[in-house]
A and B are shown apart, each in its own frame.
Chain A
Amino acid sequence: MSIIEIDKLTKDYGDNKGIFDLTFEVKEGEVFGYLGPNGAGKTTTIRHLMGFLTPDKGSSQILGMDSRTRSAHIMKDLGYLPGEIAFFDGMKGFEFLNFMSEMKGLTDTSLRDKLVDMFQLDTRGKIRKMSKGMKQKIGIVCAFMHNPKVLILDEPTSGLDPLMQKTFTDLILEEKSKGKTILMSSHSFEEIERTCDRVAIIRQGQLVALENIHDLRKKRRKTYLVSFDSPSSAVEFKSSGNFHILDVNENTVKLSITGNITELIKALDGYNVIDLDTEKSSLEDIFMHYYSNCPN
Protein backbone atom coordinates (compact mmCIF):
# COMPACT_ATOMS: atom_id res chain seq x y z
CA MET A 1 0.00 0.00 0.00
CA SER A 2 1.38 3.40 -0.86
CA ILE A 3 1.35 6.00 1.86
CA ILE A 4 2.52 8.96 -0.18
CA GLU A 5 1.34 9.30 -3.76
CA ILE A 6 2.46 12.04 -6.08
CA ASP A 7 0.72 12.12 -9.43
CA LYS A 8 1.83 14.37 -12.30
CA LEU A 9 2.52 17.13 -9.80
CA THR A 10 3.39 20.39 -11.54
CA LYS A 11 4.14 23.84 -10.20
CA ASP A 12 5.69 26.22 -12.68
CA TYR A 13 7.42 29.30 -11.31
CA GLY A 14 8.75 30.25 -14.75
CA ASP A 15 12.41 30.30 -15.80
CA ASN A 16 12.50 26.50 -15.59
CA LYS A 17 11.99 26.83 -11.84
CA GLY A 18 9.47 24.66 -10.08
CA ILE A 19 8.53 21.03 -10.46
CA PHE A 20 7.23 19.39 -13.59
CA ASP A 21 5.09 16.31 -13.99
CA LEU A 22 6.46 14.52 -10.95
CA THR A 23 5.07 11.06 -10.34
CA PHE A 24 6.20 8.66 -7.65
CA GLU A 25 4.94 6.91 -4.57
CA VAL A 26 6.30 5.88 -1.22
CA LYS A 27 5.13 2.55 0.11
CA GLU A 28 4.22 1.68 3.65
CA GLY A 29 7.25 0.99 5.83
CA GLU A 30 9.66 2.41 3.30
CA VAL A 31 12.42 4.92 3.88
CA PHE A 32 12.53 7.03 0.78
CA GLY A 33 15.42 9.30 -0.12
CA TYR A 34 14.69 12.39 -2.16
CA LEU A 35 17.90 13.64 -3.69
CA GLY A 36 18.82 16.62 -5.74
CA PRO A 37 21.12 19.63 -5.76
CA ASN A 38 20.03 22.92 -4.21
CA GLY A 39 17.16 24.48 -6.09
CA ALA A 40 16.15 21.25 -7.83
CA GLY A 41 12.62 21.30 -6.41
CA LYS A 42 12.90 19.07 -3.33
CA THR A 43 11.44 21.61 -0.96
CA THR A 44 8.75 22.62 -3.47
CA THR A 45 7.62 18.99 -3.60
CA ILE A 46 7.56 18.80 0.19
CA ARG A 47 5.57 22.03 0.40
CA HIS A 48 2.94 20.40 -1.76
CA LEU A 49 2.89 17.36 0.48
CA MET A 50 2.44 19.64 3.49
CA GLY A 51 -0.43 21.43 1.79
CA PHE A 52 1.30 24.83 1.71
CA LEU A 53 1.01 25.09 -2.06
CA THR A 54 -1.72 24.39 -4.58
CA PRO A 55 -0.37 22.55 -7.61
CA ASP A 56 -0.85 23.94 -11.12
CA LYS A 57 -1.58 20.42 -12.30
CA GLY A 58 -1.68 16.97 -10.77
CA SER A 59 -2.13 16.04 -7.15
CA SER A 60 -0.45 14.60 -4.11
CA GLN A 61 -1.95 12.35 -1.48
CA ILE A 62 -0.86 11.15 1.92
CA LEU A 63 -2.65 8.22 3.57
CA GLY A 64 -5.24 8.42 0.79
CA MET A 65 -6.12 12.06 1.54
CA ASP A 66 -5.47 15.03 -0.72
CA SER A 67 -2.54 16.83 0.82
CA ARG A 68 -3.82 20.31 -0.01
CA THR A 69 -7.43 20.12 1.07
CA ARG A 70 -7.19 17.69 3.98
CA SER A 71 -3.84 18.67 5.43
CA ALA A 72 -5.11 19.17 8.98
CA HIS A 73 -6.39 15.56 8.99
CA ILE A 74 -3.13 14.25 7.60
CA MET A 75 -1.10 16.09 10.26
CA LYS A 76 -2.51 13.83 12.98
CA ASP A 77 -0.33 11.06 11.59
CA LEU A 78 2.50 13.06 10.12
CA GLY A 79 5.73 14.42 11.52
CA TYR A 80 7.42 17.24 9.65
CA LEU A 81 10.86 18.73 9.90
CA PRO A 82 11.10 21.97 7.90
CA GLY A 83 14.23 22.74 5.95
CA GLU A 84 14.54 26.13 7.56
CA ILE A 85 14.22 26.43 11.26
CA ALA A 86 12.14 29.27 12.64
CA PHE A 87 10.33 29.30 15.93
CA PHE A 88 8.27 31.68 18.00
CA ASP A 89 10.00 34.81 19.23
CA GLY A 90 11.56 34.56 22.61
CA MET A 91 10.38 31.05 23.49
CA LYS A 92 12.68 28.78 25.42
CA GLY A 93 13.35 25.28 24.13
CA PHE A 94 11.01 23.49 26.52
CA GLU A 95 8.34 26.16 26.11
CA PHE A 96 8.33 25.57 22.39
CA LEU A 97 8.15 21.79 22.81
CA ASN A 98 5.28 22.19 25.29
CA PHE A 99 3.52 24.55 22.89
CA MET A 100 3.89 22.14 19.98
CA SER A 101 2.69 19.24 22.15
CA GLU A 102 -0.44 21.21 22.98
CA MET A 103 -0.95 22.18 19.34
CA LYS A 104 -0.73 18.52 18.40
CA GLY A 105 -3.05 17.52 21.23
CA LEU A 106 -0.33 15.36 22.72
CA THR A 107 -0.78 14.29 26.34
CA ASP A 108 1.84 11.58 26.70
CA THR A 109 5.26 13.24 26.71
CA SER A 110 7.35 10.13 27.43
CA LEU A 111 8.52 9.78 23.81
CA ARG A 112 9.40 13.45 23.70
CA ASP A 113 11.48 13.19 26.86
CA LYS A 114 13.21 10.11 25.47
CA LEU A 115 14.13 12.01 22.30
CA VAL A 116 15.40 14.99 24.27
CA ASP A 117 17.70 12.60 26.18
CA MET A 118 18.74 10.81 23.02
CA PHE A 119 19.90 14.03 21.36
CA GLN A 120 21.35 15.42 24.58
CA LEU A 121 19.24 18.48 24.15
CA ASP A 122 19.38 21.27 26.69
CA THR A 123 15.96 22.89 26.43
CA ARG A 124 16.43 25.59 29.05
CA GLY A 125 17.89 28.26 26.79
CA LYS A 126 16.11 30.69 24.54
CA ILE A 127 15.76 29.22 21.07
CA ARG A 128 16.87 32.44 19.42
CA LYS A 129 20.26 32.13 21.11
CA MET A 130 20.78 28.46 20.22
CA SER A 131 23.24 27.19 17.63
CA LYS A 132 21.97 25.83 14.33
CA GLY A 133 22.60 22.26 15.46
CA MET A 134 20.60 22.77 18.65
CA LYS A 135 17.70 24.24 16.71
CA GLN A 136 17.84 21.32 14.31
CA LYS A 137 17.62 18.90 17.25
CA ILE A 138 14.54 20.72 18.55
CA GLY A 139 13.01 20.42 15.09
CA ILE A 140 13.76 16.69 15.03
CA VAL A 141 12.23 16.12 18.48
CA CYS A 142 9.20 18.08 17.32
CA ALA A 143 8.77 15.93 14.22
CA PHE A 144 9.02 12.60 16.04
CA MET A 145 7.45 13.30 19.43
CA HIS A 146 3.85 12.38 18.61
CA ASN A 147 4.88 9.00 17.18
CA PRO A 148 3.50 9.70 13.68
CA LYS A 149 2.99 7.02 11.02
CA VAL A 150 4.53 9.14 8.30
CA LEU A 151 7.57 11.40 8.50
CA ILE A 152 8.61 14.08 6.04
CA LEU A 153 12.06 15.41 6.77
CA ASP A 154 13.64 18.21 4.77
CA GLU A 155 17.43 17.91 4.95
CA PRO A 156 17.29 16.46 8.45
CA THR A 157 20.98 16.26 9.31
CA SER A 158 22.02 19.77 8.29
CA GLY A 159 23.80 21.43 11.17
CA LEU A 160 24.30 18.23 13.14
CA ASP A 161 27.78 17.11 14.17
CA PRO A 162 28.93 13.60 13.06
CA LEU A 163 28.03 12.05 16.41
CA MET A 164 24.50 13.43 16.24
CA GLN A 165 24.21 12.40 12.60
CA LYS A 166 24.90 8.87 13.81
CA THR A 167 22.25 9.24 16.52
CA PHE A 168 19.84 10.47 13.88
CA THR A 169 20.61 7.49 11.62
CA ASP A 170 19.93 5.17 14.56
CA LEU A 171 16.63 6.93 15.16
CA ILE A 172 15.60 6.50 11.52
CA LEU A 173 16.49 2.80 11.59
CA GLU A 174 14.55 2.34 14.81
CA GLU A 175 11.48 4.08 13.35
CA LYS A 176 11.84 2.02 10.19
CA SER A 177 11.77 -1.17 12.25
CA LYS A 178 8.48 0.06 13.75
CA GLY A 179 7.04 0.20 10.22
CA LYS A 180 7.08 3.98 9.78
CA THR A 181 7.04 5.49 6.33
CA ILE A 182 9.71 8.14 5.91
CA LEU A 183 10.48 10.57 3.13
CA MET A 184 13.66 12.53 3.58
CA SER A 185 15.30 14.97 1.24
CA SER A 186 18.99 15.51 1.00
CA HIS A 187 21.70 16.82 -1.26
CA SER A 188 24.19 14.23 -0.15
CA PHE A 189 24.14 10.55 -0.93
CA GLU A 190 26.19 9.59 2.13
CA GLU A 191 23.53 11.05 4.38
CA ILE A 192 20.81 8.72 3.21
CA GLU A 193 22.60 5.65 1.92
CA ARG A 194 22.61 3.84 5.27
CA THR A 195 18.90 4.31 5.88
CA CYS A 196 17.00 4.52 2.61
CA ASP A 197 15.40 1.69 0.66
CA ARG A 198 14.65 3.65 -2.47
CA VAL A 199 15.86 6.92 -3.87
CA ALA A 200 14.35 9.45 -6.22
CA ILE A 201 16.64 11.91 -7.92
CA ILE A 202 15.33 15.25 -9.08
CA ARG A 203 17.02 17.75 -11.31
CA GLN A 204 15.57 21.07 -12.45
CA GLY A 205 12.19 20.01 -11.19
CA GLN A 206 12.10 16.76 -13.10
CA LEU A 207 12.43 13.25 -11.85
CA VAL A 208 15.55 11.76 -13.45
CA ALA A 209 15.79 8.49 -11.56
CA LEU A 210 13.80 6.34 -9.21
CA GLU A 211 15.87 3.45 -7.98
CA ASN A 212 16.39 0.84 -5.38
CA ILE A 213 19.38 1.77 -3.21
CA HIS A 214 21.23 -1.46 -4.07
CA ASP A 215 20.94 -0.84 -7.79
CA LEU A 216 22.04 2.70 -7.29
CA ARG A 217 25.15 1.64 -5.37
CA LYS A 218 26.13 -0.56 -8.29
CA LYS A 219 25.89 2.37 -10.65
CA ARG A 220 27.60 4.66 -8.28
CA ARG A 221 30.81 6.17 -9.48
CA LYS A 222 33.46 6.64 -6.86
CA THR A 223 36.85 8.27 -7.01
CA TYR A 224 39.81 6.36 -5.52
CA LEU A 225 43.23 7.66 -4.66
CA VAL A 226 45.92 4.98 -4.81
CA SER A 227 49.37 5.86 -3.50
CA PHE A 228 52.24 3.68 -4.75
CA ASP A 229 55.74 3.40 -3.33
CA SER A 230 57.26 5.29 -6.29
CA PRO A 231 56.21 7.51 -9.22
CA SER A 232 57.42 4.84 -11.65
CA SER A 233 54.94 2.32 -10.20
CA ALA A 234 52.21 4.88 -10.65
CA VAL A 235 53.08 5.38 -14.31
CA GLU A 236 53.33 1.62 -14.80
CA PHE A 237 49.88 1.14 -13.24
CA LYS A 238 48.47 3.85 -15.46
CA SER A 239 49.88 2.30 -18.61
CA SER A 240 48.24 -1.02 -17.80
CA GLY A 241 45.20 0.89 -18.98
CA ASN A 242 42.28 -1.04 -17.52
CA PHE A 243 40.87 1.85 -15.56
CA HIS A 244 39.42 5.29 -16.05
CA ILE A 245 42.38 7.30 -14.78
CA LEU A 246 41.58 10.90 -13.92
CA ASP A 247 44.97 12.13 -12.84
CA VAL A 248 48.51 11.02 -11.90
CA ASN A 249 50.37 13.14 -9.40
CA GLU A 250 53.85 11.82 -8.50
CA ASN A 251 53.18 8.46 -6.90
CA THR A 252 49.42 8.92 -6.51
CA VAL A 253 46.88 7.81 -9.09
CA LYS A 254 43.35 9.15 -9.11
CA LEU A 255 40.79 6.96 -10.82
CA SER A 256 37.06 6.55 -10.91
CA ILE A 257 35.14 3.31 -10.82
CA THR A 258 31.47 2.62 -11.17
CA GLY A 259 30.13 -0.06 -8.85
CA ASN A 260 32.20 -3.12 -8.02
CA ILE A 261 35.90 -2.63 -7.17
CA THR A 262 37.04 -6.26 -7.38
CA GLU A 263 38.92 -5.51 -10.61
CA LEU A 264 40.85 -2.72 -8.93
CA ILE A 265 41.87 -4.90 -6.00
CA LYS A 266 43.03 -7.65 -8.36
CA ALA A 267 45.03 -5.18 -10.44
CA LEU A 268 46.70 -3.72 -7.39
CA ASP A 269 47.96 -7.13 -6.35
CA GLY A 270 51.68 -7.13 -7.07
CA TYR A 271 52.15 -3.42 -6.45
CA ASN A 272 53.39 -1.94 -3.24
CA VAL A 273 50.39 0.14 -2.23
CA ILE A 274 51.07 2.63 0.55
CA ASP A 275 47.59 4.09 0.81
CA LEU A 276 44.14 3.59 -0.65
CA ASP A 277 41.64 6.34 -0.13
CA THR A 278 38.28 7.37 -1.52
CA GLU A 279 37.48 10.93 -2.34
CA LYS A 280 34.19 12.11 -0.91
CA SER A 281 32.04 12.45 -3.94
CA SER A 282 29.55 15.18 -4.55
CA LEU A 283 26.07 14.40 -5.70
CA GLU A 284 26.99 15.44 -9.21
CA ASP A 285 29.82 12.87 -9.28
CA ILE A 286 27.62 10.12 -7.96
CA PHE A 287 24.88 10.63 -10.45
CA MET A 288 27.13 11.56 -13.33
CA HIS A 289 25.24 9.45 -15.77
CA TYR A 290 21.93 10.99 -14.77
CA TYR A 291 23.37 14.41 -15.01
CA SER A 292 25.51 13.90 -18.09
CA ASN A 293 22.84 15.32 -20.37
CA CYS A 294 22.55 18.35 -18.16
CA PRO A 295 23.25 21.52 -20.18
CA ASN A 296 25.15 23.08 -17.27
Chain B
Amino acid sequence: MLCKPLLKATIKQNYIVFILILSILMLYLPIIITMYDPATQESLNQVLDMMPKGLIAAMGFSDIGASLVEFIGSYFYGFLILLLPMIYTIIICNRCIASHVDKGSMAYLLSTPNTRGKIAKTQAFFIILSTTIMIGIITLVGIILSNSYFPDLLDLKSFLLLNLGALLLYFAVTGIGFFASCQFNDTKNSLMLGAGLPVVFLVIQMISDVGDKTRFLKYFTLFSLYDTDKIIKGETYIPQFIALISIAVIMYSLAIYQFKKRDLPL
Protein backbone atom coordinates (compact mmCIF):
# COMPACT_ATOMS: atom_id res chain seq x y z
CA MET B 1 0.00 0.00 0.00
CA LEU B 2 2.75 2.44 0.94
CA CYS B 3 6.21 2.74 -0.49
CA LYS B 4 8.52 2.24 2.50
CA PRO B 5 11.82 3.36 0.98
CA LEU B 6 10.19 6.59 -0.16
CA LEU B 7 8.63 7.17 3.26
CA LYS B 8 12.05 6.67 4.83
CA ALA B 9 13.68 9.09 2.39
CA THR B 10 10.96 11.70 2.91
CA ILE B 11 11.32 11.47 6.69
CA LYS B 12 15.07 11.89 6.33
CA GLN B 13 14.56 14.85 4.03
CA ASN B 14 12.20 16.67 6.43
CA TYR B 15 13.02 15.76 10.02
CA ILE B 16 15.21 18.81 10.55
CA VAL B 17 12.48 21.32 9.71
CA PHE B 18 10.08 19.24 11.84
CA ILE B 19 12.40 19.45 14.85
CA LEU B 20 13.04 23.13 14.25
CA ILE B 21 9.37 24.12 14.23
CA LEU B 22 8.58 21.80 17.12
CA SER B 23 11.42 23.34 19.15
CA ILE B 24 10.03 26.83 18.67
CA LEU B 25 6.59 25.59 19.75
CA MET B 26 8.17 23.87 22.75
CA LEU B 27 9.84 27.13 23.65
CA TYR B 28 6.57 29.03 23.69
CA LEU B 29 4.34 26.45 25.33
CA PRO B 30 6.12 26.29 28.75
CA ILE B 31 6.47 30.09 28.82
CA ILE B 32 2.76 30.55 28.21
CA ILE B 33 1.70 27.88 30.67
CA THR B 34 3.96 29.18 33.45
CA MET B 35 2.74 32.70 32.78
CA TYR B 36 -0.68 31.63 34.00
CA ASP B 37 -1.38 32.78 37.51
CA PRO B 38 -4.93 32.44 38.79
CA ALA B 39 -4.39 35.36 41.16
CA THR B 40 -2.97 37.88 38.72
CA GLN B 41 -5.34 36.89 35.95
CA GLU B 42 -7.59 39.73 36.90
CA SER B 43 -4.84 42.33 36.77
CA LEU B 44 -3.61 41.03 33.45
CA ASN B 45 -7.06 41.53 32.01
CA GLN B 46 -6.93 45.10 33.28
CA VAL B 47 -3.62 45.68 31.48
CA LEU B 48 -5.05 44.25 28.29
CA ASP B 49 -8.07 46.52 28.67
CA MET B 50 -5.77 49.52 28.40
CA MET B 51 -4.33 48.39 25.05
CA PRO B 52 -6.15 49.08 21.77
CA LYS B 53 -8.83 46.42 21.56
CA GLY B 54 -8.37 45.77 17.84
CA LEU B 55 -4.68 45.01 18.18
CA ILE B 56 -5.18 42.54 21.01
CA ALA B 57 -8.02 40.89 19.17
CA ALA B 58 -6.06 40.56 15.96
CA MET B 59 -3.46 38.53 17.80
CA GLY B 60 -6.19 36.24 19.04
CA PHE B 61 -5.73 37.28 22.66
CA SER B 62 -9.25 38.54 23.15
CA ASP B 63 -11.44 37.49 26.02
CA ILE B 64 -8.76 35.98 28.19
CA GLY B 65 -10.69 33.83 30.56
CA ALA B 66 -9.96 32.92 34.08
CA SER B 67 -9.36 29.21 33.70
CA LEU B 68 -6.09 27.63 32.64
CA VAL B 69 -7.51 26.09 29.49
CA GLU B 70 -9.02 29.42 28.46
CA PHE B 71 -5.68 31.07 29.09
CA ILE B 72 -3.73 28.55 26.97
CA GLY B 73 -6.59 28.54 24.50
CA SER B 74 -6.28 32.21 23.75
CA TYR B 75 -2.53 32.63 24.04
CA PHE B 76 -1.32 29.50 22.30
CA TYR B 77 -4.25 28.20 20.27
CA GLY B 78 -5.46 31.64 19.18
CA PHE B 79 -2.47 32.43 17.00
CA LEU B 80 0.74 30.47 17.50
CA ILE B 81 -0.83 27.13 16.67
CA LEU B 82 -2.17 28.65 13.48
CA LEU B 83 1.14 30.10 12.39
CA LEU B 84 4.05 27.85 13.35
CA PRO B 85 2.89 24.38 12.28
CA MET B 86 1.56 26.06 9.14
CA ILE B 87 5.11 27.02 8.18
CA TYR B 88 6.06 23.36 8.54
CA THR B 89 3.11 22.04 6.56
CA ILE B 90 3.64 24.55 3.75
CA ILE B 91 7.25 23.42 3.38
CA ILE B 92 6.55 19.69 3.44
CA CYS B 93 3.47 19.83 1.22
CA ASN B 94 5.48 21.54 -1.46
CA ARG B 95 8.47 19.24 -1.03
CA CYS B 96 6.45 16.03 -1.13
CA ILE B 97 5.28 16.23 -4.76
CA ALA B 98 5.68 19.60 -6.53
CA SER B 99 9.35 20.00 -5.77
CA HIS B 100 10.10 16.51 -7.15
CA VAL B 101 8.18 17.31 -10.31
CA ASP B 102 9.79 20.73 -10.62
CA LYS B 103 13.34 19.44 -10.17
CA GLY B 104 12.74 16.28 -12.17
CA SER B 105 13.56 13.77 -9.44
CA MET B 106 9.98 12.49 -9.81
CA ALA B 107 11.21 10.85 -13.04
CA TYR B 108 13.39 8.57 -10.92
CA LEU B 109 10.59 7.74 -8.51
CA LEU B 110 8.30 6.84 -11.40
CA SER B 111 10.94 4.78 -13.18
CA THR B 112 10.56 2.24 -10.37
CA PRO B 113 7.73 -0.31 -10.13
CA ASN B 114 5.64 2.06 -7.99
CA THR B 115 2.43 3.55 -9.30
CA ARG B 116 1.76 7.28 -9.12
CA GLY B 117 -1.06 6.53 -6.73
CA LYS B 118 1.25 4.67 -4.37
CA ILE B 119 3.80 7.46 -4.41
CA ALA B 120 1.17 10.15 -3.78
CA LYS B 121 -0.45 8.11 -0.99
CA THR B 122 2.92 7.57 0.66
CA GLN B 123 3.64 11.30 0.63
CA ALA B 124 0.12 12.11 1.87
CA PHE B 125 0.59 9.58 4.66
CA PHE B 126 3.82 11.29 5.67
CA ILE B 127 2.17 14.71 5.79
CA ILE B 128 -0.78 13.45 7.85
CA LEU B 129 1.42 11.36 10.14
CA SER B 130 4.03 14.03 10.85
CA THR B 131 1.39 16.72 11.45
CA THR B 132 -0.43 14.39 13.84
CA ILE B 133 2.79 13.66 15.69
CA MET B 134 3.53 17.37 15.98
CA ILE B 135 0.10 18.23 17.40
CA GLY B 136 0.28 15.06 19.51
CA ILE B 137 3.54 16.12 21.12
CA ILE B 138 2.14 19.59 21.80
CA THR B 139 -0.91 18.01 23.45
CA LEU B 140 1.15 15.68 25.57
CA VAL B 141 3.65 18.31 26.66
CA GLY B 142 0.80 20.74 27.33
CA ILE B 143 -0.91 18.24 29.64
CA ILE B 144 2.31 17.30 31.45
CA LEU B 145 3.39 20.90 31.96
CA SER B 146 -0.05 22.06 33.08
CA ASN B 147 -0.34 19.26 35.58
CA SER B 148 3.13 19.73 36.98
CA TYR B 149 2.74 23.49 37.44
CA PHE B 150 -0.95 23.62 38.25
CA PRO B 151 -2.13 20.20 39.44
CA ASP B 152 -5.81 19.54 38.68
CA LEU B 153 -6.39 22.97 37.18
CA LEU B 154 -6.51 21.87 33.54
CA ASP B 155 -9.87 21.05 32.01
CA LEU B 156 -8.62 17.98 30.19
CA LYS B 157 -11.64 17.45 27.96
CA SER B 158 -11.59 20.99 26.62
CA PHE B 159 -7.84 20.87 26.17
CA LEU B 160 -8.04 17.63 24.18
CA LEU B 161 -10.84 19.04 22.03
CA LEU B 162 -8.79 22.15 21.43
CA ASN B 163 -5.98 19.98 20.08
CA LEU B 164 -8.26 17.73 18.11
CA GLY B 165 -9.71 20.81 16.45
CA ALA B 166 -6.23 22.09 15.64
CA LEU B 167 -5.34 18.71 14.15
CA LEU B 168 -8.47 18.63 11.99
CA LEU B 169 -7.78 22.18 10.89
CA TYR B 170 -4.33 21.08 9.82
CA PHE B 171 -5.75 18.11 7.94
CA ALA B 172 -7.78 20.61 5.93
CA VAL B 173 -4.87 23.07 5.49
CA THR B 174 -2.47 20.32 4.38
CA GLY B 175 -5.22 19.01 2.12
CA ILE B 176 -5.10 22.33 0.28
CA GLY B 177 -1.30 22.34 0.29
CA PHE B 178 -1.07 18.75 -0.92
CA PHE B 179 -3.59 19.38 -3.65
CA ALA B 180 -1.57 22.39 -4.83
CA SER B 181 1.56 20.26 -4.74
CA CYS B 182 -0.04 17.53 -6.87
CA GLN B 183 -1.74 19.92 -9.25
CA PHE B 184 1.06 22.21 -10.38
CA ASN B 185 4.22 21.61 -12.35
CA ASP B 186 6.42 24.01 -10.51
CA THR B 187 7.15 25.04 -6.97
CA LYS B 188 6.12 28.62 -7.69
CA ASN B 189 2.50 27.81 -8.49
CA SER B 190 2.30 25.12 -5.86
CA LEU B 191 3.32 27.62 -3.20
CA MET B 192 1.05 30.31 -4.59
CA LEU B 193 -1.99 28.18 -3.75
CA GLY B 194 -0.56 25.89 -1.05
CA ALA B 195 1.03 28.67 0.98
CA GLY B 196 -0.85 31.70 -0.30
CA LEU B 197 -4.33 30.51 0.56
CA PRO B 198 -3.60 29.48 4.19
CA VAL B 199 -1.72 32.74 4.78
CA VAL B 200 -4.59 34.75 3.31
CA PHE B 201 -6.99 32.79 5.54
CA LEU B 202 -4.87 33.65 8.55
CA VAL B 203 -4.75 37.33 7.69
CA ILE B 204 -8.51 37.44 7.10
CA GLN B 205 -8.99 35.67 10.43
CA MET B 206 -6.91 38.33 12.17
CA ILE B 207 -8.76 41.19 10.50
CA SER B 208 -12.18 39.70 11.18
CA ASP B 209 -11.32 39.48 14.88
CA VAL B 210 -10.53 43.18 15.09
CA GLY B 211 -14.06 44.46 15.43
CA ASP B 212 -17.71 44.24 14.51
CA LYS B 213 -17.29 46.06 11.22
CA THR B 214 -14.92 43.39 9.93
CA ARG B 215 -16.72 40.48 11.56
CA PHE B 216 -18.37 39.46 8.28
CA LEU B 217 -14.93 38.44 6.96
CA LYS B 218 -15.02 35.31 9.03
CA TYR B 219 -17.12 33.75 6.30
CA PHE B 220 -14.10 33.98 4.01
CA THR B 221 -11.61 32.08 6.10
CA LEU B 222 -11.23 28.42 6.81
CA PHE B 223 -9.92 29.22 10.27
CA SER B 224 -13.39 30.28 11.42
CA LEU B 225 -14.13 26.59 11.59
CA TYR B 226 -11.68 26.41 14.46
CA ASP B 227 -13.22 28.60 17.13
CA THR B 228 -11.33 28.09 20.39
CA ASP B 229 -13.88 29.99 22.48
CA LYS B 230 -16.77 27.85 21.36
CA ILE B 231 -14.77 24.64 21.87
CA ILE B 232 -13.81 25.59 25.42
CA LYS B 233 -17.28 26.77 26.34
CA GLY B 234 -18.70 23.56 24.93
CA GLU B 235 -20.80 25.35 22.34
CA THR B 236 -21.26 23.92 18.84
CA TYR B 237 -18.09 22.56 17.43
CA ILE B 238 -19.09 19.18 15.99
CA PRO B 239 -20.44 20.57 12.66
CA GLN B 240 -17.23 22.57 12.25
CA PHE B 241 -15.12 19.49 12.93
CA ILE B 242 -17.12 17.50 10.41
CA ALA B 243 -16.67 20.30 7.87
CA LEU B 244 -12.91 20.28 8.41
CA ILE B 245 -12.71 16.51 8.01
CA SER B 246 -14.79 16.71 4.84
CA ILE B 247 -12.53 19.38 3.36
CA ALA B 248 -9.49 17.25 4.20
CA VAL B 249 -10.94 14.09 2.66
CA ILE B 250 -12.06 15.92 -0.47
CA MET B 251 -8.76 17.76 -0.97
CA TYR B 252 -6.56 14.71 -0.41
CA SER B 253 -8.70 12.54 -2.70
CA LEU B 254 -8.74 15.20 -5.37
CA ALA B 255 -4.98 15.64 -5.07
CA ILE B 256 -4.25 11.94 -5.55
CA TYR B 257 -6.76 11.70 -8.38
CA GLN B 258 -5.21 14.68 -10.16
CA PHE B 259 -1.68 13.40 -9.71
CA LYS B 260 -2.61 10.01 -11.16
CA LYS B 261 -4.39 11.55 -14.12
CA ARG B 262 -2.39 14.52 -15.23
CA ASP B 263 0.56 14.95 -17.58
CA LEU B 264 3.92 15.26 -15.89
CA PRO B 265 6.64 17.40 -17.49
CA LEU B 266 9.53 15.14 -16.49
Contacts and interface: CB of A to CB of B under 8 A. Distances in A.
Contact of B13 (A53, A84, A90): A90
A50 B111 contact: yes
A264 B5 CA distance: 61
B83 interface: no
B107 A88 contact: no
A52 B264 contact: yes
B1 interface: no
B109 interface: yes
A47 interface: yes
Contacts of A78: 111
Given A72-B115, A90-B13, A99 B5 contact: yes
Interface in A222-249: none
Of the four ranges (under 10, 10 to 19, 20 to 34, 35 or more), the interface on chain B belongs to 20 to 34
Given A52-B264, A53-B264, A103-B3, A88 B110 contact: no
A88 B22 CA distance: 24
Q: Which of B107, B110, B265 has the most CB of A within 10 A?
A: B107
Contacts of A71: 110, 115
Residue of B4, B105, B107, B111 ringed by the most chain A CB atoms within 10 A: B111
Contact of A100 (B4, B8, B112): B112
B104 interface: yes
A91 B5 CA distance: 14
B156 interface: no
B113 A73 contact: yes
A54 B107 CA distance: 15
Interface residues of A, number: 31
Nearest to A143: B111
Interface in A15-74: 47, 50-54, 71-73
A86 B114 contact: no
Contacts of B103: 86
A86 B107 contact: yes
A76 B112 CA distance: 7
Given A52-B263, A52-B264, A104 B112 contact: yes
B127 to A, nearest CB: 17
A156 to B, nearest CB: 14
B256 to A, nearest CB: 15
B9 interface: yes
B108 interface: yes
Contacts of A51: 110
A81 B6 CA distance: 19
B9 A82 contact: no
Contacts of A263: none
Contact of B104 (A79, A80, A84, A105): A84
A290 to B, nearest CB: 28
Contacts of B264: 47, 52-53
A102 interface: yes
Contact of A72 (B5, B13, B114): B114
A75 B113 contact: yes
A90 B266 CA distance: 20
Given A50-B107, A86-B105, A99-B9, 18 more contacts: A50-B110, A50-B266, A52-B263, A53-B263, A72-B115, A75-B110, A82-B107, A82-B111, A82-B266, A86-B103, A86-B108, A90-B13, A91-B9, A99-B5, A102-B4, A103-B108, A104-B112, A105-B113
8 contacts: A71-B110, A72-B115, A72-B118, A75-B114, A84-B104, A86-B103, A88-B13, A105-B113
Q: Which 3 A-B pairs have the closest CB atoms?
A: A86-B104, A102-B5, A103-B112
